[in-house]
Amino acid sequence: MGILHLVFVLLNFRTLGRLYARINRQYPGVVDQLWEQQSIARKLDVVFGFAVFAKRAMLMNFAVMNPEKLPVYLLGDDQVAALVRKLNKGMTAGAYRFFCVATGYR
């Protein structure tokens, strides 16, 4: 999935940036906590797979593939919920889901 993370992050760069900034501003440290909860294999796949923006790639995965794993209080924030919805309704969401399922990166 490596290089695909970079492609999908770049295609959704602004939205992921806004999501990352909103979470960091309203809930400091939560993105780092989400990163720490990832398994070593997932971290390696993202970091060594040319994903320059590793935490944005992680947020893309949470928002599109695993929104149920996001803390509930994050989705209670209207702006965070709107950005997650925007990522899910985007044209790249379907392709991202397909590649995640095909490569086993859920």
Domain ranges of the chain: 2-97
Nearest to 56 by CA among 79, 22, 27: 22
Token output for 12: 């959704």
Residue recorded with tokens 């923006």:
53
Predicted confidence at residue 52, as pLDDT, reads 67
User: In whole angstroms, what separates CA 30 from the centre of its chain?
Assistant: 13
| pLDDT tens-place string over residues 66-91 | 888 888 999 898 999 999 999 999 88
Predicted confidence at residue 95, as pLDDT, reads 92
Are the CB atoms for 21 and 59 separated by under 8 Å? no
Higher pLDDT, 40 or 101: 101
Predicted confidence at residue 1, as pLDDT, reads 61
Instruction: Kindly tell me if the per-residue pLDDT of 48 is higher than 70.
Output: no
| pLDDT tens-place string over residues 2-20 | 677 788 888 999 999 999 9
